[in-house]
Structure 1
């Protein structure tokens, strides 16, 4: 059966799998190509679009679509791709930082990490280690390393002393080094 956009939305909200399947068949491939324009990685693009469709199905009863269904899907995919790019940028900055500061100093490890699997695993491990830092410590670390603020600028922004910033950075670096050394030892 052929559905128009409004029928697909109504039937999908009513949990009609045929309508959702029609939606998927029509939009999956074009959305993968659209995502690939951002990500330049076809497998990651397919995974991203599949995640969008999973989200759409899981939230089918509460989603409000105020534009065309096609435009809505493209916007969701675009936002998801931009989030992936942002996360990769942060991961790359941290890996660069690790190399510059000697947290990891054997470049042979990073030859292996260029493999996509290891890069993804390292990125997840870095994000996990950063997220486990105490809230204030995490905030100070991100301001220093990702926004490239000086200790003095951070102290002024957060209304704390530069010495507190320095102490919190010491704590953050020690915890991150411990967490990431375990990861690197496990893989290598």
Structure 2
């Protein structure tokens, strides 16, 4: 009787860079980890980059289709745009890293069960220098918005509102 052996499947490219646990078993990446790595490459580039460029920069262990899928997700989220240059799709960021970080902070705040408490914890965890900077920025933002809303030249800092029937300023 003749027995034929089938060859073992070749290791997948995307398993090469996959983190492993102590036993050598492949572990899944944390949510958003690959997107963050791809965005880091796109932000670092001075010109639009191709999927192959990103693949090479990340070490080449990820499949081309994995990078392409990640880029499609980033396009869907509005973080990356693609342009066709000659016959190749090239990718560039739609916003700077700092703008992305700010959007992530706002999204996290919206997802918190108690946004005010989350904001309090965030403020308490800031180093003094950053807390002072944030305070100055908030004051400047409040001045900008109150300056456009108050045309009398005197801003109301009492926190009271001019809502009719509430006994606020202007009510008799």
Question: Normalization by structure 1: what TM-score?
Answer: 0.23
Q: Which structure has the higher relative contact order (CA within 8 Å, separation 6+)?
A: 1
Question: Which has the larger share of strand?
Answer: 2
Question: Which has the larger share of helix?
Answer: 1
Q: Who wins on radius of gyration, i.e. which is larger?
A: 2
